[in-house]
Structure 1
Amino acid sequence: MSEEPVVSEELVTVGLQRVFRLEEGEDGHFTLHEPIQLHNGDTIRGITKEEISEVAARLNEAKLKSESSFQWESEAEFSLVSLDSIGAFDRFFEDKEFIGQGENPVTFNTGRPSREFSAYLLCLFAQNPLLLRSPRHRMLLNRVRSYGVDRIPTGTRINRRPLEAESLFDVIGESLRVTTLRITSAKARSDFETLANSFLFHAAYNTDAAARIGLDSVFRSQAIQRVRRTQTGSLDAPRQTYDADLVHHYLMGVAAEIPLLEYLAYYHIAEHFFEKIFNEDLVNQVRSGITDPSFSARRNKDIQSIIRIITKVQRQVKDEGGVNEQRALQLVLDRFVSVSRLATDLDAYDASLVGYYANNDVPFAGASKAVIRGADEEAARSAIAKRIYKVRNALVHAKEGELPKYAPFAHDEELSREIPLMRFTAEQIVIAHGKVL
C-alpha cells in the first residue's frame, strides 16, 4: 500500500481556494466571487465551514486509505483509470448502478466521485501546488470554474450542459471527469478491494471496457516530473541521426502511461544489442586466449582451455534458451554507459534517487542495492545490471508460487522509482549509436 494521503479540514479549504475564487467571511464561511447558476435556477454562492468539516471528518473515518481508495465499515470508494485511450469505460459506466442479490447484497455504483472523494482530490491540489501549473491542469482548472454555468449577475454566458450539483464538491466531482466505483454492503466487510477487482473483471468480460483501480496520472506528482531538459523556445535542430528501432522503443517508453510498459520499452533498447555484444565478447575471450604469449598450439591443455571457454558459453546459451542476458546487459553497459553521466542525469531528475538505489532493494523483484556513486565504474555497472535485470524478470515472469514477483498496479509506485535508472541508461545507449549529420 502507498503512503496514506493527508486529509484535513485545512487542506480541503486550501484546495478549494486554489480552484475557486473564494472570499472568507467573518463567520468562517466562504463566498464565491462569481456564484454558479445551475440549470434548474438554483445558485451556489459559496460553501460553509460546517460542510468542509463534515466531509473532511468523513474521510478521516475511513479504515483504509491509499492514493486511490477509501474504505469504511460497510462501504468503499475506488478511483478508476480507464485502460483505453478513448475512455470507453468512463462513457459506458457513467452513472450506473448494479445491485447484487442474496441475503446480504452488495451494490456497485459507477460515475462521478462522491463529495468525500472530490474533497480528497482538492487535498492533492493543496499538497502539490505544481499540479495546477501544467497545461493539462490549467485546462482542468478552467473547466471547474466555468463548466456548465452562467455568470451572475450579468447572465451573459449560456449553460454548456446541465449541472446536477448542490455543493462546490459536486462541481469538482462533475468537472474533473474522474470515475469512481462505490461499493456498499448490507453488512461490514473487509474485502472491498477484492469486490472491486471482481467487478472490473466482470465489466471487461462483458463489455470489453477495461479499467483499473488507481489515481489518474493527472493527479500524481510524477506526471509533472517528466524529463524536460529544454524549453521549447531554446530547442535546436538534432546533430545526429539515430537507429529507427531504438527511437521507436524510446518513444513508446516516453508515451507509455503504464509503468510496466514504460520500463520494458527502455529495456528493449539495451536488449537490442545483447546477442551482438555477447558474441563479440566470446570472440574476444578466444582471441585473447590464443594470442596470449603463454599459449601454445602444441600443448593439449592450452587447446582445452579454449575449448572450455566455448563449451561454458554454449552450455549457458542452451540452458537459458539464448545468450546469458544478465552478462549481456552488463557488457552493453560496459560498452556504452558512463556511470558518472548516469549519476548526473539522475541527480538532475531527482536528487534523492542515487541514494535511494544505494540504500534500498526492490522487494517485488528481489533486486539488491546498487551503489552508483562512490564505487568504481565496473562494480557500479555490475550492480546496476543485476538490479535492472531482476526488475525486468519480475515484470515478464509471473509463475504461480514464485516469489518475489511483480503485482500489476499494486507495485507501480515502487516500479516508477526504477524507471529513471532504466530510462537514462537507455538514452546513453541510443546516443552512443548516433551518427553525426
Structure 2
Amino acid sequence: MVQFVVKALGKSLESYTVSNDVLTLKILIDSDTSETKDLLFSKEELDRGNGLVAGYMLDGLKLYSSKYFEVPVERISQAYRPVIYRSITMSSVQGDFVFEMSRASDVFFWIYLREVISKGGKISSLNHISAYDWELSDHQGDSLIGWLRETTGVTTVRITANSKTTLEKFKEISNSISYVLAYHVRATFRFSSEIVRNQEGVSSLPGRINDVDNIQFPKLKYDSNLTNYYSKMISSSDVSSQFLSLYHILEHEFDKIITEDTIKYVSSHVGSTSFSHKDPTSVENLIKEVVKRVKFSQDDDESLTAGKEINALRLVISRYGVSKSNLSRILGRDLIKYYGEHDVQFCGAKKIDLSKDDDEVFADLAQRIYTVRNAIVHSKSKNSSRFVPFRDEAALSREIPLLQAISEQIIESSAVDLN
C-alpha cells in the first residue's frame, strides 16, 4: 500500500521512511517557505484496508453489494459550492432507499486509491495541499485513509437499500437522482468511474438557483437518453451548446410522436364513413399518407424539410403536457412578457403570444425554437439570420429558459414510476 500512497502524493511528498512498522510521510505544505509537516501511520493502518472490501463487488469504480451502492461523483459543474462540502441525505417515500452524497467512505476510498493509483493515475488535489487543510482538524492519530479522504475531497453518492437490490436498480435510482440534483441546483453531478473536471454552469429558471432545500428522493424513473442531454446543458458554459442540448431532448422524441400520430391518423381514417377498404383509391391514399409519415421518421437530419421538422416539434410540444399555464408558472411574468414582446434579434424568430389558442401557441413555439436552432447550426456567411458567437450570446441566452421549461416537461411526462 505504501507505493500507492507515495504515487498519490506526488510532488507534495518531500520524503517518506518506514521504520519499526511506522510510515512517516514528510509533506510540503508551503512551497514558498518550504514548510513541511510529518504524518505518522502504523503498519496496521496500512494493512487494515484489505479487510474493508470483504462482501463488496466492483463494476468499474461502482462499489456495491446486495443492499449498498457507492459511486464517485464527477462534478462537471459546480454552481453552488456548499453542495460538495455539506452532505445531502434523503429517503424514498416508502423509506426503502436512503441516498447520501458526501465524502467517500473508508472502504470506497481504499478501493479508489488502489484502483486508480495502481493504473498510473493521480489524485490531483493532493498536489495542492495547503496550510488550511492542516487546520481542518487535528491530524495527530487520524487514520491514513481518513486523512487522505478528507484532504482530497473525493465525493461519492451512497444508496442504501432495506432489501436485496440489483445493480441495475441502483443505477436507475442514481440516474434519477442526478436529474433531480441538476434540476434543483443547476449543477451536474454525473456518477462514473473517474473524477474529471469542473466548469461553470448555466443561468437558471426563476426560483431555481441553489434550491437545495427542496430536493426530494425521486419518485420517477427518467429516460437516461433525455437526462444526459439535460446534464450536458447544465454542465456547458457555451450558450449555443446549451440550446442544442435541450433541442436534442425534443428531437429524440420525433420518432415516437410520429408513430403515435400515424396510428391515430389510420385509426381515425379507417373508421370514417368515407373510407372503404373495397375502394382502391381510398386504400391507395391511406397507404401514401402512411408511407409519407414513416419516411419522415426514417429521414436523417439533412433530408428533413423545415415544414416536417417544425410539425414534429409542434407534435412533441403538444403531446408531452406542455401547456400555457405551465409555461406561465415556470417562466414567470418577466420572461413571459419578454417572449411576448420580442422577436429573436439575430434570426427574426417571432414573438410568443400566450393569449392565442393552444394550437397556435404550440405552432409559434415550434417555429421560434426551430428558427433559433437553424441560426446556430447553419452559419453560411450569406445567411443574415445566423448566430454569431459572442455578438449574439446575450440574445441566445434569453432563449434557454423557454426551451429548458419545455424540455423539463418532456422529461417528466415521459418518465415512469421508479418502483
TM-score by length of 2: 0.47
